[in-house]
Amino acid sequence: MTYENTLTFIENEQTGIAKGYDFSFLQSFYSRERLETQVAFDLANFKTIEENLLAKTEQKEGEWVEYAENKYTRISRIGETVQISNQVGIYVWENGAQASGCTWDPDLDHLGTLYKSDLIATTETRKGRCWTFSGNQSGPGRGVYFEINFRVWKLARGGVQ
């Protein structure tokens, strides 16, 4: 596709996923039909990922924590303790999610040490930006960003006001 056709496609694509592709990746498609097929595959893939992640019951990286009323952050690492950060990228695949980037957030240090038992499950979900490899094929420029729903956990010890 030409540069102008690619720009037009990005601007007019209804779901917004086209804005989440690397531009050079989009330009590598030779026809609009092939690009539309790729977009449809990736949207279906994100839907499957979202359904699988929401079906799990344990805390996962990328999920949200409401640490005070209407104040949210994301789970960035889970081990003996739970780290939270608003400065992470979330990579998702069919059965999991992994955070990368700044897994410790100095702006949230005032919350102290968090443990898995400090997080209480809710029925809430919240949209969150994440990424995966387009077409489930890794490689440079093949990442695609999108927003899917992630579960929300509440901080059991009341949070910080």
**Whole-number pLDDT of residue 80:** 86
Predicted TM-score of the model (pTM)? 0.89
Asked if residue 93 is part of any domain, the answer here is: yes
Q: What is the mean pLDDT of residues 109-136?
A: 93
Residue 161 lies in a domain: no
pLDDT of 110? 81
Judged against a pLDDT cut of 70, whether residue 158 lies above it is answered with: no
Calculate Rg over the CA atoms of the chain: 18
How much of the chain exceeds pLDDT 90, in percent? 75
Q: Tell me if 160 is assigned to some domain.
A: no
Task: Tell me how far apart the alpha carbons of residues 145 and 35 are, in angstroms, rounded to a whole number.
Answer: 16
pLDDT of residue 160: 44
Q: What is the mean pLDDT of the chain?
A: 91
Q: Quick check: is 13 in a domain?
A: yes
Q: What is the mean pLDDT of residues 34-48?
A: 96
What pLDDT, on a 0 to 100 scale, did the predictor assign at position 157? 65
Judge whether residue 63 has pLDDT over 80: yes
What span, in angstroms and rounded, lies between the C-alpha atoms of 115 and 139? Answer: 35
Give the range of the structural domain holding residue 105, as residue numbers without chain letter: 3-155
Q: Domain count for the chain, please give it.
A: 1
Phi, psi of 108 (to 5 degrees): -110, 10
Please state, for a pLDDT cut of 70, what percent of the chain lies above it: 96
Q: Is residue 12 part of a domain?
A: yes
User: Can you say whether the dihedral through the CA atoms of 56, 61, 62, 65 is positive or negative?
Assistant: positive
